[in-house]
Structure 1
Amino acid sequence: MSFSPKFLIAFLVFVSFRFYSFSQTFTSSNLPLVIINTNGQTIKDDPKVTVDMGIIWNGPGKRNTLSDPKNNYNGKVAIEWRGSSSQGFPKKSYGFETKNSILADMDVSLLGMPEENDWILYAPYTDKTMIRDVLTYTLDASLGHWSPRCRYVELFLNGKYEGVYVLMEKIKRNQNRVDIAKLTATDIYGSDLSGGYIIKIDKTTGGGGDGWSSDYTNVVGRTFYQYDYPKAKEIAAEQKSYIQNWVRNMEKTLFQGKFSGVGSYHEYLNDSSFIDFMIINELAKNVDGYRLSSYLYKGKNKLINCGPIWDFNLTYGNADYYNGWLTSGFQFQANLGTDYWQNPFWWNKLMQDQNYVTKLKRRWTWIRKNEFSNERITFVIDSLANVISEAQVRNYQRWPILGQYVWPNWYVGYTYSQELTWMKDWITKRLIFLDQQWPYNFTGIENQILSQSISIYPNPFTNRLTVQLAPTINGDGTAEIVGLSGMLIRKYNIAIQNGQIELDFSGNNLLEPGLYVLRINQNNRTLLTEKVVKRP
Structure 2
Amino acid sequence: MNLIFTRKRLLAVILLLHVIVFGQVTFTDSNLPIVIINTDIDPNTGQPTEIPDDPKVWADMKIIYHTDGTRNYMTDQDNTDFLDYDARIKIELRGSTSQLLEKKQYGWTTYDNEGNKQNVSILGMPSENDWILNGLAFDATLMRDYLIYNLSREMGQYASRTQYCEVVINGNYRGLYVLQEKLKDDSKRINIEEITEDDNSGANLTGGYITKADKTTGGDPVAWVMASDAQDTDFIHELPKPEDVTAEQNAYIHSQFTALETAAHNNNAGLEDGFPSIIDVPTFVDFMILNELSSNVDAYQISTFFHKDRGGKLRAGPVWDFNLSFGHDEFGDRSHPDIWQFDNGDNEGPRFWKELFENTEFKCYLSRRWNTLTADGNTLSYNSLNDFIDETVDLISEAAAREQLRWGTVPNHAAEITSLKSFISERIDWITDNVGTFSACADVELPSLVINRINYHPGETEEFPESDDLEFIEIINTGAETVDLTGIYLSELGISYQFSANATLEAGEGLFLASNPEVFEQRYETTAFGKFERNLSNSTQRLVLADGFGNVIDEVEYDDDTPWPDADGNGSYLVLTDTSLDNSLASSWTAVAEGALGTESFIESAKLILYPNPVSNMLSVRANTDIAVINVYDIYGKLLLSANPTSVNAEIDFSVYQSGIYMVNITTVQGTTSKKVIKR
TM-score with structure 2 setting the length: 0.60
Aligned residue number for residue 156 of structure 1: 168
The 5-angstrom pairing of residues 478-489 of structure 1 reads none
Q: Offset at 1:102?
A: 3.1
Read off the aligned partner of 1:438 and give its amino acid letter: V
Alpha carbons 2:542, 2:558 under 8 Å: kept: no
Residue 239 in structure 1 maps to residue 249 in structure 2: yes
Q: Supply the distance in 1 between the matched residues of 2:115 and 2:49 (Cα, whole angstroms).
A: 17
Alpha carbons 2:363, 2:436 under 8 Å: kept: no
Aligned residue number for residue 190 of structure 1: 202
Instruction: Answer 1 or 2: which has greater strand percent.
Output: 2
Secondary structure at 2:63 match in 1? strand
Aligned residue number for residue 6 of structure 1: none
Alpha carbons 1:476, 1:493 under 8 Å: kept: no
What are the Cα deviations for residues 73-104 of structure 1, in whole angstroms up to 9, with x where unaligned? 11221111111111111110001111222323
Aligned residue number for residue 367 of structure 1: 373
Read off the aligned partner of 2:186 and give its amino acid letter: N
Aligned residue number for residue 411 of structure 1: none
* 1:168–1:297 distance in 2 versus 1, CA, 3 Å: same
Secondary structure at 1:185 match in 2? coil
What are the Cα deviations for residues 490-536 of structure 1, in whole angstroms up to 9, with x where unaligned? 98526899999898895499xxxxxxxxxxxxxxxxxx9xxxxxxxx
* 1:320–1:155 distance in 2 versus 1, CA, 3 Å: closer
Aligned residue number for residue 408 of structure 1: none
Q: Supply the distance in 1 between the matched residues of 2:224 and 2:492 (Cα, whole angstroms).
A: 35
Residue 299 in structure 1 maps to residue 309 in structure 2: yes
Q: Supply the distance in 2 between the matched residues of 1:245 and 1:258 (Cα, whole angstroms).
A: 17
Aligned residue number for residue 33 of structure 1: 34
Q: Supply the distance in 2 between the matched residues of 1:445 and 1:142 (Cα, whole angstroms).
A: 22
Read off the aligned partner of 2:25 and give its amino acid letter: Q
Deviates more, 1:258-267 or 1:29-38: 258-267
Read off the aligned partner of 1:123 and give its amino acid letter: G
Aligned residue number for residue 284 of structure 1: 294
Q: Which has the higher contact order (CA 8 A, sep 6+)?
A: 1
Among residues 420, 428, 432, which one is paired with 2:429 in the alignment? 432
Alpha carbons 1:82, 1:206 under 8 Å: kept: no
What are the Cα deviations for residues 229-262 of structure 1, in whole angstroms up to 9, with x where unaligned? 0112222332222212222222223334434364
Among residues 542, 565, 568, which one is paired with 1:493 in the alignment? 542
Deviates more, 1:89-98 or 1:315-324: 315-324
Among residues 59, 63, 82, which one is paired with 2:94 in the alignment? 82
Q: Supply the distance in 2 between the matched residues of 1:151 and 1:399 (Cα, whole angstroms).
A: 21
Secondary structure at 2:131 match in 1? strand
Among residues 41, 61, 64, which one is paired with 2:69 in the alignment? 61
Deviates more, 1:67-76 or 1:123-132: 67-76
Alpha carbons 2:162, 2:181 under 8 Å: kept: yes
Q: Supply the distance in 2 between the matched residues of 1:198 and 1:287 (Cα, whole angstroms).
A: 22
Alpha carbons 2:364, 2:441 under 8 Å: kept: no
The 5-angstrom pairing of residues 261-280 of structure 1 reads 262-280=272-290
Read off the aligned partner of 1:129 and give its amino acid letter: T
Alpha carbons 2:38, 2:170 under 8 Å: kept: yes
Q: Supply the distance in 2 between the matched residues of 1:270 and 1:156 (Cα, whole angstroms).
A: 42
Residue 45 in structure 1 maps to residue 94 in structure 2: no
What are the Cα deviations for residues 187-218 of structure 1, in whole angstroms up to 9, with x where unaligned? 2221121111010110123353241223xx22
Read off the aligned partner of 2:350 and give its amino acid letter: P
Q: Offset at 1:22?
A: 4.5
Alpha carbons 2:540, 2:558 under 8 Å: kept: no
Alpha carbons 1:267, 1:303 under 8 Å: kept: yes
Alpha carbons 1:477, 1:493 under 8 Å: kept: no
Among residues 190, 194, 198, which one is paired with 1:178 in the alignment? 190
Q: Supply the distance in 1 between the matched residues of 2:199 and 2:243 (Cα, whole angstroms).
A: 16
Read off the aligned partner of 1:137 and give its amino acid letter: Y
What are the Cα deviations for residues 369-426 of structure 1, in whole angstroms up to 9, with x where unaligned? 21111121112111111111222111211112334xxxxxxxxxxx211111111111
Read off the aligned partner of 2:164 and give its amino acid letter: Y
* 1:492–1:441 distance in 2 versus 1, CA, 3 Å: same
Secondary structure at 2:368 match in 1? helix
* 1:101–1:223 distance in 2 versus 1, CA, 3 Å: same
Q: Supply the distance in 2 between the matched residues of 1:501 and 1:161 (Cα, whole angstroms).
A: 48
The 5-angstrom pairing of residues 335-374 of structure 1 reads 335-336=345-346, 342-369=348-375, 370-374=378-382
Read off the aligned partner of 1:307 and give its amino acid letter: G
Read off the aligned partner of 1:32 and give its amino acid letter: P
Secondary structure at 1:351 match in 2? helix
Aligned residue number for residue 314 of structure 1: 324
Alpha carbons 1:365, 1:439 under 8 Å: kept: no
Alpha carbons 2:229, 2:345 under 8 Å: kept: no
* 1:99–1:210 distance in 2 versus 1, CA, 3 Å: farther
Q: Offset at 1:44?
A: 1.7
What are the Cα deviations for residues 329-368 of structure 1, in whole angstroms up to 9, with x where unaligned? 11111022xxxx6521111211221111111111111111
User: Aligned Cα RMSD in Å?
Assistant: 3.2
Alpha carbons 2:125, 2:161 under 8 Å: kept: yes
What are the Cα deviations for residues 2-47 of structure 1, in whole angstroms up to 9, with x where unaligned? xxxxxxxxxxxxxxxxxx9554342211111100112321112112
Q: Supply the distance in 2 between the matched residues of 1:61 and 1:96 (Cα, whole angstroms).
A: 26
* 1:363–1:342 distance in 2 versus 1, CA, 3 Å: closer
Q: Supply the distance in 1 between the matched residues of 2:26 and 2:430 (Cα, whole angstroms).
A: 44
Alpha carbons 2:296, 2:335 under 8 Å: kept: no
Q: Supply the distance in 1 between the matched residues of 2:272 and 2:310 (Cα, whole angstroms).
A: 21
Read off the aligned partner of 1:387 and give its amino acid letter: L
Q: Supply the distance in 2 between the matched residues of 1:502 and 1:190 (Cα, whole angstroms).
A: 30
Aligned residue number for residue 420 of structure 2: 423
Q: Supply the distance in 2 between the matched residues of 1:495 and 1:271 (Cα, whole angstroms).
A: 14
Q: Supply the distance in 1 between the matched residues of 2:315 and 2:557 (Cα, whole angstroms).
A: 29
Read off the aligned partner of 2:115 and give its amino acid letter: L
Read off the aligned partner of 1:36 and give its amino acid letter: I
The share of aligned pairs that are identical, in percent, is 34
Residue 123 in structure 1 maps to residue 172 in structure 2: no
Q: Offset at 1:322?
A: 5.6
Which has the higher Rg, Structure 1 or Structure 2?
2
* 1:144–1:207 distance in 2 versus 1, CA, 3 Å: farther
Aligned residue number for residue 462 of structure 1: none
* 1:48–1:476 distance in 2 versus 1, CA, 3 Å: closer
Q: Supply the distance in 2 between the matched residues of 1:379 and 1:294 (Cα, whole angstroms).
A: 28
Read off the aligned partner of 1:358 and give its amino acid letter: C
Q: Supply the distance in 2 between the matched residues of 1:218 and 1:478 (Cα, whole angstroms).
A: 31
Aligned residue number for residue 4 of structure 1: none
Q: Supply the distance in 2 between the matched residues of 1:119 and 1:208 (Cα, whole angstroms).
A: 20
Read off the aligned partner of 2:37 and give its amino acid letter: I
Q: Supply the distance in 2 between the matched residues of 1:447 and 1:220 (Cα, whole angstroms).
A: 36
Q: Supply the distance in 2 between the matched residues of 1:508 and 1:233 (Cα, whole angstroms).
A: 48
TM-score with structure 1 setting the length: 0.76
Alpha carbons 1:21, 1:399 under 8 Å: kept: no
* 1:499–1:425 distance in 2 versus 1, CA, 3 Å: same
Provide structure 2 residue ranges, at least 5 long, that are not aligned to the other structure.
Answer: 1-20, 42-47, 447-478, 480-488, 494-538, 546-551, 565-583, 585-680
Alpha carbons 1:138, 1:147 under 8 Å: kept: yes
Aligned residue number for residue 388 of structure 1: 396
Q: Offset at 1:125?
A: 3.6
* 1:232–1:364 distance in 2 versus 1, CA, 3 Å: same
